[in-house]
Amino acid sequence: MRGMKLHEYQAGALLHSYKISIPLGNVARSADEAFKVSNQFKSSGYVVKAQVLGGGRGLGHFKETGFQGGVHLVDTPEKVQSVAKEMLGNSLVTKQSGADGLPCNAVYIVEKIQIEKEYYLSLTLDRAGASPTFIYSKEGGMAIEDVAHERPDAIFKLKVNPLKGLDEADLKQAAVNLGLQDKEDQVVALFQKLYACFNEKDCDMIEINPLVLTKQGVVMAADSKVTVDGNALFRQKELAAQEDKTQDNAKEAEAKQYDLNYIYIGGNIGCLVNGAGLAMSTMDIINSYGGSPANFLDVGGSAEGEALVVAMRLLNEDPQVKAIFVNIFGGILRCDRLAGSIIEANEKYKFTKPIVLRLKGTNSDVAKSMISGREKELNIYY
């Protein structure tokens, strides 16, 4: 199950509950409410942030109006109100959202802070190393992937033995690596509080970008992202209740109802595969030959019948998809059942897009005999 993402205002509130320093601010769901919120605290300026579950907000634009940017720095409550009016009720299109964008139903208004220096800090799971791992850098406020590519020596990692917990000597060294040795107490406390939050709230990831040192000497989480383990939500009912399902891609939401593992990507080749490893390999192969996968879709071993029909329909109805690649290694999911679902889906919805079909494994010969002679009708190549 995929992790549940929190909005920035929700993540900020969670960190604040662990006594981690964040900028003053509050959420608003109307322009008038945004005006009231900005009058609740005195500041030399305000940052208005569209609350959508996607990165690259600052460089995005709103689909309906063309209004540029999901993050704005303004100097008066009146301008806060004006910007909020442009954002709320519209869809923010970013590099990660796809052409439809993500609905902006709330804005987060925070105080403008006086920043001395920006840093990067995150805590996530290193599955290969079977340990929670801090990743941190002096280079913050930018894509950490770019820093890792251009200056790998600027990235530090601190693996935590989950049986022993944090070692204070390691945390003091982290302060040195960040150039914040004179703020050692704050850095050590911040790492300890993040680790407590990470464990107690079943987080997959906590990312602070940027972590800042203010001109007043405070180490502060200026922007935060939190993802909670979807398989642990039964333990985290308070967080689960905060999930914003309006942010789900419509196709992902429908697929979830049928226990299909579908992730929208936005390319032009639809993928239907059984098994996550084979699905990832299939996407890599498509990329290596210059194609662009439209989605990750793992139908698993138990999906059959209506679920498989829905899977085929989702791909066929995606306007960005030009062709569909079905790559099945038959095991628990028998190839003949998959073939039957393709035939049923075509009878219901009539495929308009070519399907490249690869079937190997259990009953693959039976499946091919079911399709034989109907290739043109089904628009199938194999």
Residues designated catalytic: 120, 207
Residue 100 tokens, joined: 């439809």
Q: Is the dihedral of CA 305, 311, 314, 316 positive or negative?
A: negative
Residues with Cβ within 8 Å of 313's Cβ and at least 6 positions away in sequence, in order, are: 345, 348, 349
Q: What is the CA radius of gyration of the chain?
A: 24
Give the DSSP letter of residue 142. Answer: S
Rounded to whole angstroms, the Cα distance separating 161 from 126 reads 11
Q: What is the largest CA-CA distance in the chain?
A: 76
Give the DSSP letter of residue 153. Answer: G
Rounded to whole angstroms, the Cα distance separating 132 from 330 reads 36
Element at 203 (helix H, strand E):
strand 203-214
